[in-house]
Amino acid sequence: MIRHILKQIWTQRRRNRWIFGELLLVFTLCWYIVDYAFVMAHNRMIPNGYDITDTWQIVYGKNVNDSTQSDFDRFLDKIRRFPGVQHVFASSDWSITPFSGSYNGDRIQRDSTSTGYYIQRKKIGTNSYFNLFNIHSITTGQPARLLLSDKYTVMLTQNLAESLFGKENPIGQTVYFDKKTYRVTDIVENQKRFDYYQPGNVVFYPDKLNDMSSPEISIRTGSNFSLEQFKEEVTSDIKSYQDIQRSQEFAWGITKEVRIRNAIMIFFLLNIALGVIGTFWFRNQTRRSEIGLRIAMGSSHRKIQNQYLLEALLILTLAAIPAIFINIAILQAELIETLGQVVNNSGYITANKWLRFLITNGMTYILLAVIVAFSAWIPARQASKVHPVEALRDE
Amino acid sequence: MLQQYFKQAWQLIRQNKLFSSIYVIGTALGISMVMVLAILNHIKTANIYPEYNRNKMMYAKTISMAPVDTARFKYTNSGNLSYKAARLLFMPLETPERISVMMSGSNFASLPNDDNLVNVKSRYVDTAYWEIFNFRFLSGKPFSNADFRSGLQVVVITESLAKNIFGSSEAVGKYLEYGFKPYRIVGVVKDISYVMEETYAQIWMPYTCIEDYDKEWSERGGMIGDISRVYLLAHSPSDFESIRNEVNENVHRYNAQATDWKADLMGQPDIQSVAIHRYWSNEGPDMIKIRIQNCLLIFLLLLVPALNLSGMNSTRMERRLGEMGVRKAFGASRSKLTNQVLTENLLLTGLGGLAGLLFSYLILLFTRDWILDMGRQYSSSLPEGASVDFSATMLFNGKIFLIILLVCLVMNILSALIPVYRSLRKHITDSLYIKYN
């Protein structure tokens, strides 16, 4: 059957080459977009390392100094006593809460001479932070705990601990950053900066000063929390961290990027659909007699339809082969970037060049195959409805 | 003759409804994507209310200050210009017709002692600003030079803000509070669309009413500051080169006497088409790369549908081979036949183009909240209450229709020329003999 269809594709090559060329081009273009979407979906599936459902950010609009400290304390107390509020955390360091725009970067080493790794520093004043955002210790499985009494202690994320210490037990070892030596007290879950990012290296260490001059307050709430009531009784300046995440992604242009890529992909796929429908519809008209003959000779309607589908899929397969070679060239020219890759040797599929290539090309093929099969099926159904007598009379 | 072609083409379209509709949809798809890009570019670069002088404008946004002694100061700093930088590098220029400096801000506006606060976008400007941009004053006029020099608290507001605060656009002479300070309204202008990046605001006032607008910071030579834009209006685009030279001379002069920090304008002042791509304060846009990317994108957006249409055209031409053979046998020249087929095809492409244009308007309508940020690294979400309005001049104008005609022609040639040429090259006997198999 396949050999027969291949022969037919070859005899009709003059008519097929346009759709062939289009499929080839679109395969490569779609692969480029599919690869981006794959990395995006892959990254989003990695756990964030924290949990922002039912968490809210409250901005205390005023500056806090010695004279206004008591006002602020009362405000904080009011929030604490509000029904449904489970955990409260306040800090002036806006770079430590999830989806914050600011970032406090540094380099970490085992000692001042060994290899360094880029890290994000998070200075935490109270341990309620870890309860609030559900950041767990790897060793205990419980919400993580900083040793707040000793300011030269630190908790590392798991990926950072592995990069620094390999298979050694990191707890009790020392690390060097910010020109000081810190003792590792615990290992916490890997932390992502944004949903679509891969986990980066993060360190948590005690904030002795716990400055409150322009505070941001985070709360975790339970089921009996009423937002309306809170807005009325405490403050209307409250936003959920999920909203913050959304606006953050919008501001970083990722929302727009995804929309534009989707639009271009839909555009290409629509073109493919139109092209395949057009090409095969013409075939219906020009091959009516052939189809009539086939039906007259006992070919079933299903068989005619299958032949169309197979033919369309074979053209796609033939176009995919050179397209994949073009894709290899694009890959080797390093034109493919990995979205949100913070650590180079992350161990994720996205860092495995050829496995990722295989997966994304496979996905592209399946995607196009679905479109092509569906588009070919419309004229195929039409064709199989041809009455043999009608068709043969055309002769 | 042309009429005959069109008649024939119309008949063909009607005979073959399915082919025609697939063909038209295919063309419309391809053209709509290109038209979206063209319209966006038009909105960002053409002379549109109130920025009627874009073709004669030059802009400066940022400055980069590099330390002379890298042992003392490690890093190069960059940011917006300071008033000192504008005063030294731009204000003494002689070639431009007008020079203006703009700072932007936002704060609350309201009736005096009223709780109804409206968050507004404001621009602190000078008198030249009103001559560079052609605002339509519904009543009143811009603040005067005397107002500006003495730093009077006077404002020009938009019609919608006047209606919002006073309930009517008759607001000249009344007072409003901005940032909890009283301002007298001297003029009311027609609203500005959010898409006009240099002029969108609700309220304008002299920058001399900011207390320390000319404050000099001691760091980085005092050249980095709060000025959002310096506008230079040239007499004509041919002056751009001499303005640039003049600016460069000023930079040289500054750097010759500077001891700690050297200034670099990174190719500024920019003309409009470059200015819309300048986002970073520490580097200029790579225009060659941007142009190549845009051309490639447009080419691909046209090529894919063109391949589609070529396939359909070639099948159609094969079916009409007999007809062509007969025409040839009766003495029609090849160029005549080519012309005929191309005209027929152009009619279809034109229909597709029209549908594509309408479709691109739809796309813009549904994506207007974010599509203008296309090509930018960061997006800004719309300020509260603002809406992106496309005026008629942005969407319906000679340039857009010219572009669509051009795109249709390119599409026509891309999709029809090769199939037509190939089928007409066949010998008459072949064309007459070949029966469709």
B311 touches chain A (CB under 8 A): yes
Digitized pLDDT (tens) for each residue of chain B, 437 residues in all = 678 777 877 887 787 787 788 888 888 888 888 888 888 888 888 888 889 999 999 999 999 998 888 777 777 888 899 999 999 999 999 999 999 999 988 888 888 877 777 888 899 999 999 999 999 999 999 999 999 999 899 999 999 899 988 988 888 999 999 988 899 999 999 988 888 888 889 999 999 988 888 888 777 888 888 899 999 999 999 999 999 999 999 999 999 988 888 999 998 899 998 988 888 777 888 889 989 988 888 888 888 888 888 888 777 777 777 777 788 888 888 888 888 888 888 888 888 888 988 998 898 888 887 777 766 656 566 665 566 777 777 777 777 778 877 887 887 777 777 777 777 777 767 666 655 44
Torsion angle in degrees (nearest 10) through CA of B419, B425, B429, B432: 20
**Which of residues 330 through 359 in chain A touch B, CB cutoff 8 A?**
none
CB A253 to CB B376 under 8 A? yes
**Tokens 């082969």 sit at which residue?**
A321
Which chain B residues touch A286 with a CB distance below 8 Å? 315, 318-319, 436-437
A385 touches chain B (CB under 8 A): no
Strand partners, B65: B77, B263
Q: What angle do CA A43, A49, A50 make, to 5 degrees?
A: 120
Sketch the domain layout of chain A as residue ranges.
Answer: 2-47+254-394, 55-224
Which chain B residues touch A271 with a CB distance below 8 Å? 26, 29-30, 304-305, 308
pLDDT at B436: 47
Shortest CA gap A280–chain B (Å): 10
Contact A320, A27 (CB under 8 A): yes
CB A15 to CB B318 under 8 A? yes
Which chain A residues touch B319 with a CB distance below 8 Å? 285-286
Q: Rounded to an integer, what distance in angstroms lies between the CA atom of residue B209 and that of residue B181?
A: 11
Shortest CA gap A314–chain B (Å): 17
Instruction: Give every CB contact of residue A339 below 8 A, 6+ residues apart in sequence.
Output: A36, A39, A40, A43, A196
Q: Rounded to an integer, what distance in angstroms lies between the CA atom of residue B288 and that of residue B273?
A: 12
A249 touches chain B (CB under 8 A): no
The token duo for A160 is: 């950072």
Chain A interface, best mutation among B117, B304, B380, B414, by max A CB count within 10 A: B304
**Phi/psi of residue B33, nearest 5 degrees:** -60, -45
Which chain A residues touch B318 with a CB distance below 8 Å? 15, 286
Break chain A down into helix, strand, coil percent, rounded to 5.
50, 15, 35
Q: Is A108 exposed, middle or buried (0-12, 13-18, 19+ CB in 10 A)?
A: buried
A259 touches chain B (CB under 8 A): yes
Q: Rounded to an integer, what distance in angstroms lies between the CA atom of residue B66 and that of residue B62?
A: 13
**Tokens 């685009």 sit at which residue?**
B237
The token duo for B164 is: 């919002």
Nearest beta carbon to residue B314 from set A18, A29, A251? A18
Ranges of chain A with pLDDT below 70: 391-395
Q: Rounded to an integer, what distance in angstroms lies between the CA atom of residue A88 and that of residue A220?
A: 7
Residue of B nearest to A289 (CA): B437
pTM of the model: 0.81
- Which stretches does DSSP call E strand in B179-282? 181-189, 203-206, 229-233, 261-264, 270-271
CB B374 to CB A21 under 8 A? no
pLDDT at B437: 42
By C-alpha distance, which of B304, B363, B49 is closest to B200? B49
The token duo for A85 is: 């509020």
A101 touches chain B (CB under 8 A): no
Instruction: Give every CB contact of residue B152 below 8 A, 6+ residues apart in sequence.
Output: B143, B184, B206, B209
pLDDT at A381: 82
Nearest beta carbon to residue B307 from set A14, A18, A286? A18
By C-alpha distance, which of B81, B23, B1, B17 is closest to B351? B23
Q: How many CA atoms lie within 13 A of A296 on its CB side?
A: 13
Q: Rounded to an integer, what distance in angstroms lies between the CA atom of residue B179 and that of residue B195?
A: 25
> Strands A117-124, B181-189: parallel, antiparallel or unpaired by DSSP?
unpaired
ipTM exceeding 0.90, yes/no: no
Distances (CA, A) of A395 to A289, A304, A382, A388, B106: 6, 19, 19, 11, 78
A118 touches chain B (CB under 8 A): no
Fill in the amino acid letter for B194.
Y
Which chain A residues touch B18 with a CB distance below 8 Å? 281
